[in-house]
Amino acid sequence: MGKWMDGYLTKYDALHQESIVGGGPQQIALQHEMGKLTARERINLLLDPGSFDEFGSFIRDIRAPYDGKDRPSPNDALITGTGQISGRQVMIYAFDFTVLSGSLGDQAAWKLADITMMAGRMRIPIIGLIDSGGERLSIKEGNMGLNGLATFLRNYSLISGIIPRISLILGPAVGVSSVVPVLSDFLIMNRKTSFLWLGGEKKSKSAGNADFHMEKSGQCDIIVDSDEQAILKCKELLEFLPQSCWEKPLQISGSDDPKRAEEALLNILPDNPKFTYDIHEIIDLIVDNGEFFELGDEFANHMVTGFCRFDGRVCGIVANNPDELSGIIEPDSSDKYDRFMNFLDAFNIPLITLVDTTAFPPGDRWERMGVIRHGAKLLHSYAQVTSPKITMVLRRSYGGANIVMGCIRMSPDYIFGWPSMELAPTGPETVVHAIFHKELAKAKEAGKFDEVFNGYLSILKEQFSVLNMAKAWTAYYTVHEVIDPRQTRPRIIKALKSLAAKYERYPEKKRSIKPA
């Protein structure tokens, strides 16, 4: 090697070493004291050993700070590159909190903008490890800083539906860039260290933490208690996702009998329809090996969403949970269902709906919360889903909820019903009160209210029973087939196999317009 190269390599080695150590030993120790891994430790834990190919490592902040002090800025506090997870290529970006509190600088913003479009062109998932104090202040912030951030946000939005986007908040995520995790398809937060906040006054200590964004805002999908757990959950989630919308998720050779019938399914529904049960009991019995990857389990938990497999094939489940608020569909559960359904459709993942709901709740409280507007989103989205759709009605399917959960005239590919299934414009109890109110008033005066009410109710429940409704194929309320509950799993698997080559397209248009 010629001597002329020595000088270049000396400079190269110095810059490379500076990038590797980030903020230095003192800042790394402080990061560990806060219970957090460093950005490079997180990357090494997430990716297959030796697979990380970094780029942009020589990037530095070239702008003058307000106070004029020169501060080291290796990587401009952002590490980027490609790597593999279980042999699958991914794009990675990780904020380095040891460098300028992980603040987003001008050069880092442009780097983010570029790698986002690269990931879209390469058709690989993009994963963000976020631990950032927000946008960095400088003399030129209003010039190039926001331009780079805006370009990144635009690019990140444009790749929506093309590749999976996953964000892990492992520290603070504040300011304008805090919208990135919410734009993502999936958000994982560390309960002990994460904080998501746009700005302004905080009226409670809990605002912005992981529990707040799971239970209140509904923006968090998974909560964990450490960086290690967050990375493990990210890997588990990725196993259910395809590389892009042009590929299918990994299909695993079935380790669970596709013909398995479950006697236990006969003992879950209570004899009295007024009593509840936990829908997880049914989900666990019908999916492969009882493995269900639930999302948003503490937000609107009367609507359950998550990934599973049927005979090795990835599916998404949306299910009413009668154990919580009788499985009603109100604004929060509508939004939760809508978002998940649109992701499944974008990546051609089958949608399985398990139905047992008393419908949309009536009353002033719910109307003020926009129950109609949020419910209308479900009609709009379900009508346009072209991925395989299978509806399984277990017990009650009343009113508008019957429609948005995939009734036969909303064109699911298959709709099955258990013999216990009831189809009605509203609950039979409500119908009895509405139609026979005069008779009930007289019965109450005579001290025979319960006897008369139950008499009318039994007649209506017989009429609303699927065993009666299914006699008319052309009726609005019907199913393709009434099945033995024990055959739920085998029937879903057979239906999925028959839909393997499904092709469905709707009239060409620029775009549809979802209700506000």
Domains of the chain: residue spans and CATH? 4-238 (3.90.226.10), 263-421+466-498 (3.90.226.10), 427-464 (no CATH)
Query: Quick check: helix, strand or coil at residue 169?
Result: strand
- pLDDT at position 32 is 97
Other C-beta atoms closer than 10 Å to the C-beta of 373 total 13
Interval 359-384: pLDDT, tens: 888 889 999 999 999 999 999 999 99
CA distance 253 to 227: 31
Task: Find tokens 């860039």 and name the residue.
Answer: 177
Q: Among the listed ranges 9-13, 96-100, 265-269, 364-368, which one has the minimum average pLDDT value?
A: 9-13
115, 194, 224, 423, 425 from 393: Cα distances, Å: 44, 39, 33, 9, 15
Q: Does the pLDDT value for residue 491 go beyond 80?
A: yes
| pLDDT recorded at residue 471 | 79
- 141 pLDDT tier (thresholds 50, 70, 90): very low
Q: Is 379 exposed, middle or buried (0-12, 13-18, 19+ CB in 10 A)?
A: middle
Q: 479, 470 in Cβ contact below 8 A?
A: yes
Which residue in 96, 160, 105, 98 sits closest to 128, CA to CA?
A: 96
Q: Per residue in 115-125, pLDDT tens?
A: 999 999 999 99
DSSP-based three-state secondary structure for 94: strand
pLDDT of 206: 83
Instruction: Give the pLDDT confidence score for residue 461 in this predicted structure.
Output: 79
Closest C-alpha among 93, 126, 112, 389 to residue 243: 126
pLDDT per residue over 304-363, tens digit each? 999 999 999 999 999 999 999 989 999 999 999 999 999 999 999 999 999 999 888 888
* AA letter at 216: K
CA-CA distance, 92 to 141, in Å (whole number)?
25
